[in-house]
Structure formats: structure tokens, C-alpha cells
Structure 1
């Protein structure tokens, strides 16, 4: 019996769930659309009706994983408290989420990291989303006199780039605790002092 019949209609979500598991077992290099279809008990043509190419399927896997982080990042950005601390929390949440996945599900995270190197569209969309959250918080901080920035978006991009080591999967070999926690704290102190208005830098902030 076809797994698609047993589990209900064949949907993009079911295909992506099967793709996740197949990637976890075989890795990106050895995973094919036929493997995903076999896991679902359907023909590869059925998968292609939802994802016309192997690249489309891979991009969707990456996008689905990245999208899962967005609600928690938005919640931090929209939260209360000092703007600089919320910038730190956005960056920390982004990093900690990826560190946890890499530690708890290393097979899938390794597969995800390899796919992400070629999945430009979902990765760019993810970066844009994070930068929008940072820009929003920084702009609010500027309006309240808590952050010094002539251009919040440019500042947000700089902050994102400066912390790439902590959230870019390509740097995952460096995510060893407790060293990575200390490195994050050190980089954040420099960034924080750069964000705060003159006369406030190095005063009244923790972390």
C-alpha cells in the first residue's frame, strides 16, 4: 500500500518531512528524489509534481528549517527592555538555536549546512529577516536615545556580519562550549560599546 494513501494526501509538508529523514540517513550527496519518494511509498513523479527539480526540493528543506527560527527571533525583537539587550538576545537566540541543533541532531545539521551552501534564495531570505528584526530594534533604540546610529539598517548588517562566526553553519566546527560562549560574550561587549551613545559605553550593561 502507498504511504501517501495510508498517511493521507501527499502534501509538500509530508514530502519535506521524508526529505529531512532521508537526508539525515544518507546525507545530501547520496540522497535523491527517488529515495524520498521510496520513503513515502510513491513514485518520484508524485514528488516532482510538488517540487519540479531536486534543487527546488533542497531549497525547500533549507527554507523550512530556517523559517522555524523566525517566530522566536521576532518575539525577542518585539519584546520589552533596553534596545541593546534585545539586539544581544536576537543574536544569541539565532546562535543558540543553531548550536543546539548541531549538538542534538548532528547528522541532519551537517546535511542542512551542506545544502545551505547552495540554497541561495532561502538563505538570503533568512538573512534579510534577521536583519529586519535587528534594524527594528536598533531604530527603536535610536528613537529612545539608547543607541547611536545614523543608519539603523547599515548598523544591523554590520552587527549581523560581525557575529557570523556564531550563526553561520560553515563555522560549526568552532561551536565548542564553553569557548564559544566566552567568544560570543567578548564580541558582544565590543558591539555593545559601539552601539551605545557616548558617555554610556561600558556602563550599565551586563554580558
Structure 2
């Protein structure tokens, strides 16, 4: 049986495994190549640098959240419920990632510290989804007239404690759900018509 072809997806899967095993500080492209049974040059043919490989792993990891949240943003129904559900899903996804996959979460933290374009694109995607919910609420008269993108950025900033990885140590503390609900309530009262 011929060996499985080396594809970007295979490399990314192997990179995730290597990152989980060694952590983001110690994982190397050579480790990834060794896990795949290829030379490190073969990996570099698909990803020009270690930084590009790390960005691609993070982008893939974040994209898993995008699809679920996008479905909530585009769902039918009252905007208030969709906005609360979207914020709750984001918070739960971030907590799950921090708790269930700490090595990849650590990689994400490294990229946040490096001002990664992947992280910037992720934030813009999240704000665009929020803006769609808000725009729908304004259109239905549920929310007061606001510029959707500006309001979405305000919601993103107001809920920062519940999705910014810098706050991850707080996400398992007692009372965090109560604090989250209080922020959601405040945000929604501010948007209501």
C-alpha cells in the first residue's frame, strides 16, 4: 500500500498532536516532520515557516467555532435570544478550549501576544456575526436604531472578560456565570428599542 500523500490537513493534524505533546514553546517543525515520517523540507513545501504553520493551526482551531456561531447569527427568531445564545456559545466554546485543549489554547495565547493576523481575522469574523444579529434586531424594531458594526464592537468589548484568553483563569471561578448573565442583561437593555 503506497504511503498516504502529504497534504496540508495531514500536516496540521500532526502539528496539533505535536503541540499537545511538547507544548508551543518546544514543538518544532522537525518534530512535526518526524511524526509524519517525512523530512522537514517536505513540511516547508506546504508551509513556508514555523510561524506560518502555527498560524494555520490556530486558524483551523478557531474555524471550528466560526461555523457554529455563524449558524446562530443567521438563525431565525428574535435578535435578543440569538444574541444571548451567541454570546453564551462563544463563552462556552472558549472555556471548553481552555480546559480541554490547553496546549492549543497556549498556542492561541502565543499568537495573541504576537498580534497575529489570524487572531485579528478571528475577531473581525466574530464582530461581523454580532453585527448581523444586531442589524436583524434593528430591522425588526426589536433593537433601537444603531450602526450595527459599531454596536457589535461595543458588545465584543463589553463581553471581553468572557472570551479574551487573558481572562481564562477566571472562567472556572465561582460566580462567573452570574457575572456573565449580568453583562448579557446590561448589553441587551442597552440595545432594546
TM-score w.r.t. length of structure 2: 0.94
What is the Cα-based RMSD across aligned positions, in Å? 1.6
Map 1:78-157 onto structure 2 (within 5 A): 78-118=74-114, 120-157=116-153
Specify whether residues 177 and 7 from structure 1 end up closer, same or farther in structure 2 by C-alpha distance, changes over 3 A only: farther
> What is the match of residue 192 of structure 2?
196
* Unmatched 5+ stretches in structure 2: none
- Alpha-carbon displacement from aligned partner over 1:107-136 (angstroms, at most 9, x marks no partner): 332333223432621111111111111111
- Alpha-carbon displacement from aligned partner over 1:68-106 (angstroms, at most 9, x marks no partner): 111111110111221122111111111111111222233
- 2:135 & 2:24 partners in 1: Cα distance? 40
Out of 30, 34, 38, the position equivalent to 1:34 is 30
* Unmatched 5+ stretches in structure 1: 198-207
> What is the match of residue 48 of structure 2?
52
> Number of residue pairs matched?
193
- 2:80 & 2:174 partners in 1: Cα distance? 24
Specify whether residues 116 and 23 from structure 1 end up closer, same or farther in structure 2 by C-alpha distance, changes over 3 A only: farther
- State the structure with more CA Rg: 1
Does the residue aligned with 2:114 lie in a helix, a strand or coil? coil
TM-score w.r.t. length of structure 1: 0.88
Mapped contact 2:24–2:103 kept (Cα < 8 A): no
